[in-house]
């Protein structure tokens, strides 16, 4: 028996010494992950948009407390802890070892920290932990751009595991859920660090043996101009809709606002059921109208359709029609009406865009046909994603025979084509698509992909990312660009539908109004907003750019159920442009007659010039 014991001792302590030594060290030494600091986010002018602020959590170590239930009740009374927090604490407690801390309150106020600190001696096993958490100083003004971070859930862990990134999030509480925070999560998160610690047989840390610091996430800079973004929020004043502003020179998104919005800080520390229910209203504040809202583009696309008509030689600059307020096809009972009941008289393509003559575009669409319309509009990006750096984007619908058959299981009718001529029927587009289309137009075919991120911060300098582009649009006659752009100039500066909104501006702009009809009006009926429920009233729309000769900004405004584009949407675009060009000076504004001929000079007062 003694011989057997000695033999076994020799086997364990000599023959297998290295193997068991390694296993013993594994029980004694542990490697623990250390979370990196999340990268900061700035606007193009260096204004901090997303930062990391210290927050204080109330933590409980269950095994150090004699009567856990009694202690929780006492703390709830002392700090007025919400019942939902207590419920969440007991849920988290079930899956945690008793010597590890569990959060009771995720965010304490400075007053609560002081109150607990004064009485901490009465609560052994309860302590305050400080850590950095995301904070958005501009709240609801930037929600649909930045998105937010929130607690990592099982679905997030599964995706991280499938992508092979699970280890990098071993010590991280939060992950980007929406907006830029989600789209650029990999850049913003950073790389996890590690510390080697010595533990006892119960898993408690005795001392730190080694420390490998984490690499913080990259600080990124956006193209967003925060002053312009705040102007958008102010201009909407609670109205439903969205505004998008882009620099046509590089595709940088200067402003992107969706109304109504919400405070993203509610989600960072875990939103309560009560607050979340408030967001589930018919106004849909969680919905990003700027990139996901799908609206009939209405008359805003008339310049693009006019370009198609010119290119396909269906019309020329000299082509005219007589507009008597109605349009009718032979052997067809239906009558299509103009927004002006008495018509516009003799109309060519320039005047048709300026005064938004529906009859001209009914006739042109009929002659073009849906196949050529669809083909030309696809070139401008309708019916596809723009490529903006947000996951929350819709592609809209650019109707064609095949798409209508697939989606609605019905054939294409000639009446559908006529309605397409004024941006109605099955055609839907997002505000970001409309803005991209207008930038392509002013760039005469150069297709730049809109981008929110401008670049990364390195050594206190911005490393600007390259401009992203798609294949440019090639047309047969370059002069057609000028015809269409001149008509948009006339919309604002001659006798067009946006002249009133931009009267007195110290810069020269161009644009196109739109009024999107949401319900069908009977043949013998007139549109009366007062007789319709608010949700069925027309959408007001406007697309425009400035300055006319060298565009620096393109703006799209969509106001839901607001009425006429020239009266409601164009003034908001004016406010955006006034804000953007504040402090800039321009030559005296001369009104130009068609295609470069001087007609009259519009005198501006000194006060208007210095606006």
Q: Which of the residues are catalytic?
A: 299
73 upstream amide cis, omega within 30 of 0: no
Q: What's the rounded Cα separation, in Å, for the pair 440 and 485? A: 12
- Closest by CA to 57, choosing from 111, 141, 127, 119, is 127
260 upstream amide cis, omega within 30 of 0: yes
What residues contact 104, with CB distance under 8 A and at least 6 apart? 57, 58, 59, 60, 72, 75, 81, 85, 86, 89, 126
- Closest by CA to 544, choosing from 508, 568, 520, 515, is 508
| Alpha helices in 280-354, H assignment, sequence order | 289-292, 302-311, 349-354
Q: Which two tokens stand for residue 309?
A: 């008509």
Q: What's the rounded Cα separation, in Å, for the pair 492 and 544? A: 9
Backbone angle region of 396, left / alpha / beta, with phi > 0 → left and psi within -120 to 50 → alpha = left
> What's the start-to-end Cα distance of the chain, in Å?
104
Q: Judge contact between 572 and 235, C-beta under 8 A.
A: yes
What residues contact 35, with CB distance under 8 A and at least 6 apart? 171, 172, 173, 192, 193, 214
Q: Which two tokens stand for residue 327?
A: 């349009």
Q: Judge contact between 253 and 450, C-beta under 8 A.
A: yes
Q: Judge contact between 208 and 196, C-beta under 8 A.
A: yes
- Closest by CA to 27, choosing from 145, 198, 162, is 198
Please state the separation of Cα 99 from the chain's center in Å. Answer: 44
Q: Treating both helix axes as pointing N-terminal to C-terminal, what angle do 302-311 and 431-442 enclose, rounded to 10 degrees? A: 50
How many CA atoms are closer than 13 Å to the CA of 511, on its beta-carbon side? 34
DSSP secondary structure letters along 19-72: HHHHHHHHHHEEEEEEPPPPPPEE-TTS-EEEEEEEEEEEEE-GGG-S-HHHHH
Q: What's the rounded Cα separation, in Å, for the pair 301 and 541? A: 11
Tell me the three state secondary structure of residue 306.
helix
Q: Is 479 annotated as a binding residue?
A: no
The helix or strand, by DSSP H or E, that contains position 411, with its residue range, turns out to be none
Q: Is 174 annotated as a binding residue?
A: no
| Cβ neighbours around 62 below 10 Å, total | 16
Q: Which two tokens stand for residue 275?
A: 């607050």
Q: Is 67 annotated as a binding residue?
A: no
Phi then psi for residue 295, to 5 deg, are -120, 150
Strands (DSSP E) found in 341-437 = 345-347
DSSP secondary structure letters along 359-371: HHHHHHHHHH-HH
Query: For 491, which DSSP code?
Result: H
Q: Is 88 annotated as a binding residue?
A: no
Q: Per the annotation, where are the binding residues?
A: 323, 338, 344, 357
Q: Per the annotation, where are the binding residues for Zn(2+)?
A: 323, 338, 344, 357
């Amino acid at each position: 028996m003694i011989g057997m014991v000695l033999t076994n001792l020799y086997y364990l302590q000599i023959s297998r010494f290295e193997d068991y030594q390694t296993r013993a060290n594994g029980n004694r030494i542990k490697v623990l992950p250390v979370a990196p600091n999340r990268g900061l986010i700035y606007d193009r002018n260096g204004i901090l948009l997303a930062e990391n602020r210290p927050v204080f959590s109330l933590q409980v170590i269950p095994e150090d407390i004699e009567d856990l239930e009694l202690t929780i009740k006492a703390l709830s009374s002392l700090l007025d802890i919400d019942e939902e927090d207590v419920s969440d604490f007991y849920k988290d407690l079930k899956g945690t070892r008793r010597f590890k801390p569990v959060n009771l309150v995720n965010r304490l106020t400075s007053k609560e920290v002081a109150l607990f600190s004064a009485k901490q001696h009465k609560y052994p096993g309860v302590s305050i932990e400080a850590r950095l958490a995301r904070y958005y100083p501009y709240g609801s003004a930037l929600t649909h751009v930045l998105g937010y971070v929130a607690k990592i859930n099982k679905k997030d862990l599964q995706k991280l595991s499938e992508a092979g990134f699970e280890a990098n999030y071993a010590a991280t509480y939060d992950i980007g859920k929406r907006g830029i925070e989600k789209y650029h999560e990999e850049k913003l998160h950073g790389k996890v660090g590690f510390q080697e610690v010595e533990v006892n047989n119960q898993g408690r840390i005795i001392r730190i043996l080694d420390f490998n610091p984490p690499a913080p996430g990259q600080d990124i800079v956006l193209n967003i101009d925060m002053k312009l973004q705040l102007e958008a929020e102010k201009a909407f004043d609670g109205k439903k809709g969205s505004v998008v502003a882009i620099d046509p020179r590089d595709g940088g998104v200067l402003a992107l606002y969706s109304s109504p919005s919400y405070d993203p800080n509610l989600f960072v520390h875990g939103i309560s059921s009560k607050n979340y229910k408030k967001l589930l209203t018919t106004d849909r504040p969680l919905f990003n109208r700027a990139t996901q809202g799908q609206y009939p583009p209405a008359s805003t696309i008339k310049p693009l359709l006019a370009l198609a008509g010119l290119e396909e030689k269906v019309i020329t600059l000299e082509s005219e029609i007589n507009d008597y307020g109605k349009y009718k096809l032979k052997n067809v009972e239906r009558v299509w009406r103009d927004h002006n009941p008495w018509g516009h008289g003799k109309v060519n393509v320039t005047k048709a865009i300026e005064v938004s003559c529906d009859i001209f575009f009914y006739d042109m669409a009929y002659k073009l046909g849906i196949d050529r319309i669809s083909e030309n509009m696809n070139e401008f990006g309708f019916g596809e994603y723009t490529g903006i750096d947000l996951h929350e984007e819709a592609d809209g619908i650019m109707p064609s025979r095949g798409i209508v058959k697939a989606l609605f299981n019905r054939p294409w009718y000639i009446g559908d084509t006529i309605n397409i001529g004024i941006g109605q029927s099955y055609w839907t587009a997002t505000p970001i698509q409309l803005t991209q289309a207008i930038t392509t137009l002013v760039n005469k075919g150069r297709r730049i992909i809109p981008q929110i991120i401008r670049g990364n911060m390195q050594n206190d300098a911005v490393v600007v990312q390259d401009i992203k582009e798609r294949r440019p649009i090639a047309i047969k006659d370059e002069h057609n660009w000028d015809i269409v752009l001149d008509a948009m100039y006339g919309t604002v500066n001659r006798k067009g539908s946006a002249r009133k909104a931009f009267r007195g501006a110290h810069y020269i702009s161009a644009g196109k109004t739109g009024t999107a009809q949401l319900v069908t009006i009977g043949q013998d009926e007139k549109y009366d907003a007062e007789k319709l429920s608010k949700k069925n009233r027309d959408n007001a729309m406007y697309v425009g750019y400035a300055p006319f000769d060298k565009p620096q900004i393109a703006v799209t405004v969509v106001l839901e159920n607001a009425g006429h584009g020239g009266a409601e949407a164009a003034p908001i675009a004016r406010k955006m442009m006034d804000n953007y060009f504040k402090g800039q000076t321009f030559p005296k504004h001369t009104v130009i007659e068609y295609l470069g001929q001087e007609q009259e000079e519009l005198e501006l007062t000194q006060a208007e010039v210095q606006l």
